[in-house]
Amino acid sequence: MGTKSARKIFSENLQRLMRNKNVDQKELAEAIGVTQPTISNWI
């Protein structure tokens, strides 16, 4: 998988998708049933 960890790759992909879809952390959290701090931990 190279030198990047799975967590780092997930974080980068999530941030990119959120930008592309114009979704903020709060909106994503509500949509998937977690808290905003959980999303913050992921990114």
Q: Which has more pLDDT, 3 or 35?
A: 35
Inside any domain, residue 1:
no
Structurally, how many domains does the chain consist of? 1
Long-range contacts of 15-19 (CB under 8 A, 24+ apart): 15/43, 18/43
| pLDDT value, residue 3 | 79
| pLDDT value, residue 43 | 93
- Residue 35 pLDDT > 80: yes
Range of the domain at 18: 6-42
Q: Against a cut of 0.85, is the pTM above it?
A: no
Q: What is the mean pLDDT of residues 17-23?
A: 98
Inside any domain, residue 37:
yes
Q: What is the mean pLDDT of residues 3-31?
A: 96
